[in-house]
Amino acid sequence: MQSPALSRRELLVAGGATMATMALLNSRLTQAAPLRQGEVVLPWLDQPEENPVPEVIDNQLVWEEVNAWITPNDQFFGIAHYEWPEINADQWQLAVDGLVENPLILSLDELKVRPRQELTYTLECSGNTGLPFFDGGIGNARWVGTPLALLLEEAGVLKEGIEVVFFGADKGEETVRDTPMVQHFARSMSLADAMHSGNLLSYEMNGEPLPDRNGAPLRLIAPGWYGIANVKWLERIEIWDTRLANRFMARDYVTIRQVGTAAEPKWTESWVGKALLKSAPARVVQNGDQYRIEGAAWGAPISSVEVRLDDGPWQSAELVPGQQSEYTWNFWTFDWTDATSGEHAITTRATDTTGQVQPTQDDPLIANKITYWESNGQITRRVNIT
């Protein structure tokens, strides 16, 4: 399958990403506490719009149909910024070079004989819930691969090396200052960030070889970062003494905010990097005259989740114990004991273990943002009780 340049998506949504949007969550509850006899899931009134570019944003999760904490490979979303590359895994090689003492060229088999590491990690696209039709760019999987730090140590980074650049096999034409050129997709991070013990060069997903959609034969898995940093179809790692400034680091995947006064506006630009604290209601379950709200929170280690019904006070939800880890979504449940007939708004907010609280939609960090990346404001869903 091939996918055209992601810029098509940007053209469709230019200027339209400041609204509060709808996000359902793959609920761990569907594994830990499946629906019991007599229980039904009530439909949300604010369903996402139909995806106008399914060939660009591929295989979004249908949250109402998810029934496991781990997202199956065939339900995991995929996004490509250029055409999806066709790679022969038997002939594929990974190069590690640049400012290193010992450049490496490794086959997939040579990577696999090195120490293995497993990590469960919830991967979210930085544009998820930032568009009215895009709420399925998230999934949770068990990733297996070679620790990135191990390979960097083996290559021997020179003292002037400060940036690690990851190149995918996917490529396309870019025009820079009226000059057309073919470029590979690439992202970078500092050497200090790259040496994080959780970073993997992953070749296995949920116990199976990495699917083509998700970057086969090798991709970077960088827990705690948005999906854009997790480079797919990886074929080259270079160590530089300067920062990468390509489309995907300096021109696109940049969050723009207005600061200052209306009379004298100023603008800030920051590159999309590490994931942000987030939560959302996933579903409302009815059993006779009893109602339960289920949802999840992610983006940071979660301390608590609160639910607000309509304009009422914040009330504590119960975090579901078990299967919780630093880099996966945490799930919660809330017994709605005083539900009345009519239309209701359900809002959630998460607090992480450092005390940081998920921002409101009118927080300046959200309200002053004119790009749709990093949309982590509190999400409100609407449901009708009959």
SS3 148: helix
Q: Are 272 and 306 in contact (CB under 8 A)?
A: no
Q: Which of 82, 88, 85, 59 minimizes the C-alpha distance to 71?
A: 59
pLDDT tens by residue, 108-165: 999 999 999 999 999 999 998 887 778 788 999 999 999 999 999 999 999 999 999 9
pLDDT value at residue 6: 35
Distance CA 277, CA 282 (A): 16
> Could you give the percent of the chain with pLDDT greater than 70?
91
pLDDT value at residue 34: 62
Distance CA 4, CA 83 (A): 5
pLDDT confidence of 3, banded at 50, 70, 90? very low
Q: Which of 316, 325, 312, 309 minimizes the C-alpha distance to 350?
A: 316
- Complete domains list, the chain, with CATH: 68-242 (3.90.420.10)
The mean pLDDT value for 182-186 works out to 94
The mean pLDDT value for 75-103 works out to 95
pLDDT value at residue 15: 33
pLDDT confidence of 348, banded at 50, 70, 90? very high
Q: Which of 186, 336, 342, 369 minimizes the C-alpha distance to 269?
A: 369
Is 102's pLDDT higher than 60?
Answer: yes
pLDDT value at residue 70: 87
Residue 257 C-alpha from the chain's centroid: 21
pLDDT value at residue 66: 66
Distance CA 51, CA 379 (A): 20
pLDDT value at residue 98: 98
Q: Are 6 and 56 in contact (CB under 8 A)?
A: yes
Distance CA 278, CA 24 (A): 12
Q: Are 55 and 6 in contact (CB under 8 A)?
A: no
Q: Which residues contact 212 (CB under 8 A, 6 or more apart)?
A: 1, 84
Owner of token pair 């506006």? 265
Q: Are 277 and 350 in contact (CB under 8 A)?
A: yes
The mean pLDDT value for 250-261 works out to 89
pLDDT value at residue 338: 93
pLDDT value at residue 26: 39
Alpha carbon separation from 283 to 33, 71, 291, 374 (Å, rounded): 13, 17, 10, 23
**Triad 99, 189, 274: Cα angle to 5°:** 170
Is 280's pLDDT higher than 80?
Answer: yes
